[in-house]
Amino acid sequence: MVMVTKAPPRSAPAAHRALRLLLASGVTAVSLVAVPGTAAAEDDKSAGNTLTVAVSQSIDSLSPFLAQKLTSTSIHRLAYEYLTNYDAKDARTIPGLATAWTPSADKLTWTYTIRENSKWSDGKPATAEDAAWTFNKMMTDPNAATANGSFTANFAQVTAPDAKTLVIRLKKPQATMTALDVPIVPKHVWEKVGDFSKFNNDQQFPIVGNGPFVITDFKVDQYIKLKPNKTFWRGAPKFDELVFKYYKDGDAAVAALQKGEVSFVPNLTPAQAAALATQKNIKVNDAPGRRFYALATNPGARSQDGKTFGNGHKALLDPEVRKALFLAVDRATLVDKVFQGHAVEGEGYIPPRFGSYFWKPDAGQKRTYDPAAAERVLDAAGYKKNAAGKRLGKDGKPLDFRILCHATDPNDKAVGKYLQEWWGKLGIGLKVECLDSVSDPWVKGDYDLAFDGWSVNPDPDYVLSIHTCGTLPETPKDSGATDNFICDQEFDGLYAQQAVEYDAAKRADLVKRMQSRLYDTGYMNVMAYPNALEAYRTDQIKSITTMPEAAGNLWGQDGYWSWWSAVPAASASGDSGSGGSSTGVIVGIGAAVVVVVGLGVLLGLRRRSTADDRE
């Protein structure tokens, strides 16, 4: 049971908006009289403008030190600043909590200038000491390094000589120093926490942060609510409230969008997108995605102390079995039939959206769809069929596998049926186990195969790090940052090289070699790069920023641009709806309108929002 301490209500009555409109239009004197029964007299009861986002993924934790799922990390992007951010236009590095950064000549010492105009939502200033404490906690407490430990593993020392200066000294050069995707937390709040492995940050609200939104309420698998941070240095968001509402069923979420009960729905099926595209007041966004969709095999769950655990099928430890399974997967058919063309056929680990890191296997390396070859591979490896046509393992028992499926993802179920058909022709059985949350059996290693998918950041370091040996759990009782228990020394060597390579071209080449090695180990089969299929109500959202601005996505961005930039449809062009001024840009899907607001305007239009990765 979640205990909730609610934040005091925020006043945003319609009369106050009218006042701001009058002031913006040049009126200099206005009398506001509160009349019983009107919005002015009952401003605490005013619902205001609420932006409701339907989500299907459970929150794994509200602690930035533990959270890895996309929904959770997206929310942390809204609640906390990182040292740097990614520009909505082209994902280049731009200031966040840090306004500037300078490396030493040997690249082993990085000095960041911390902005003076960032405050925690409880009014205290956000300083370099908060950043230093965050990183030092991750460096000294393994439980605090669960989610993002790869970023600080190479840190030798982090200090804050003064409130505006953060100094990070490295053991060796590190290529991610302008892409440290780590939420900075308030020291005065978090230093009171005891066991970081058990603290989920979900017992007391509002949660203190310094991002564009403040988390005010949360109920497991129901909703999470956020209010604008009025003191946010870029300017407060324009909606009065942001709600992420949980829907286990995608059709129910779409129905809620049609009724106007939610403002935005991500992760649409092609059929849902086609149906919504013809409806009034609904805009469908179909953009190249930043995710990959993969088939993962259990390589033998193990921990860093050398112990194995879980109940993965032993036959999948044989690379010939994995090779045969993957040769019997028709990725082109999945793109055509399951994704109905709203995806690109998968191969490498990094989606084509990230051009400099995108990799494709050469002709001799590529696993093409060839079920006859799959049959030959199994035969040659000694996996013969019995009289009933069932393929037998080395123990003489029929080969029957299980695959973990997300119950909330219709793609998993659809692909599962194809796999049952294709592998059935090989004489191999497959049980599709669809669960509301696959986390528990996955962490325990209790699976044979699983549908896997991650969102990739502009800098690919994190999504590559989750396949290194160092992310395995320390013991079978612990949980590591590993995605799939893969531990390969050649991959680790390449990862170490790219991590210290500052030359962009050379680093890109190393990242491609890493993908090639991951492909050759045969533990994962990237089947597709799905498009971002999503929809929102134009009678609730007037404009919102995609990332990248040209044909980009809204859900799961790399920052906070979408929800921060969203303008209520009822809001006039000069009305901010929630206070705070800033120079801003508003970009609607399919068109760009740039509006520069001078300092003389009472309340300005603002820029965008984005969200971070992982699932």
- Tell me what pLDDT residue 80 has: 98
At which residue do the structure tokens 């066991």 appear? 195
| Residue 49 predicted with pLDDT over 90 | yes
Helix (H, G, I), strand (E, B) or coil at 441: helix
Helix (H, G, I), strand (E, B) or coil at 571: coil
- Region 582-597: mean pLDDT is 30
pLDDT band at 25 (very low <50, low <70, confident <90, very high): very low
- Region 360-373: mean pLDDT is 96
Length of the chain: 615
Are 184 and 130 in contact, with CB atoms under 8 Å apart? yes
- Tell me what pLDDT residue 551 has: 86
Q: Position 179: which residue type?
A: A
Whole-number Å distance between alpha carbons of 372 and 12: 67
| Residue 29 predicted with pLDDT over 50 | no
Chain mean pLDDT for the chain: 87
- Tell me what pLDDT residue 479 has: 82
| Residue 581 predicted with pLDDT over 70 | no
DSSP 395: T
How far is residue 248 from each of residues 434, 445, 535, 589, measured CA to CA in Å? 12, 25, 18, 28
| More confident: 550 or 232 | 232
Helix (H) / strand (E) containing 561:
helix 561-565
Query: What is the per-residue burial (b if ≥16 Cβ within 10 Å, else e) of 274-300?
Result: ebbeeeeebbbbbbbbbbbbbbbbbbb
Are 125 and 118 in contact, with CB atoms under 8 Å apart? yes
Are 319 and 558 in contact, with CB atoms under 8 Å apart? no
At which residue do the structure tokens 């909590």 appear? 97
Are 556 and 266 in contact, with CB atoms under 8 Å apart? yes
Q: Position 79: which residue type?
A: A
How far is residue 571 from each of residues 17, 455, 470, 541, 607, measured CA to CA in Å? 9, 33, 50, 9, 15
- Tell me what pLDDT residue 592 has: 31
Nearest to 333 by CA among 397, 265, 233, 417: 417
| More confident: 259 or 16 | 259
pLDDT band at 281 (very low <50, low <70, confident <90, very high): very high
Task: For 55-77, give the DSSP string.
Answer: E-SPP--S-TTT--SHHHHHHHH
Query: What is the per-residue burial (b if ≥16 Cβ within 10 Å, else e) of 174-185?
Result: bbbbbbbbbbbb
- Tell me what pLDDT residue 495 has: 97
pLDDT digits (tens, 9 = 90+) for 454-466: 999 999 999 999 9
SS3 track for 239-294: CCEEEEEECCCHHHHHHHHHHCCCCEECCCCHHHHHHHHCCCCEEEEEECCCEEEE
pLDDT digits (tens, 9 = 90+) for 380-390: 999 999 999 99
- Region 568-573: mean pLDDT is 68
DSSP 30: -
Query: In 88-191, where do the E strands start and end?
Result: 93-95, 98-103, 109-114, 155-162, 165-170
- Region 584-592: mean pLDDT is 31
- Tell me what pLDDT residue 41 has: 31
**What are residue 553's phi and psi, to 5 degrees?**
-100, 165
| Terminal alpha carbon distance of the chain | 25
At which residue do the structure tokens 């996996």 appear? 383
Nearest to 578 by CA among 51, 156, 70, 4: 51
User: For the chain, which domains are there?
Assistant: 57-201 (3.90.76.10), 291-530 (3.10.105.10)
* Pairing verdict, β 429-435 and 223-228: unpaired
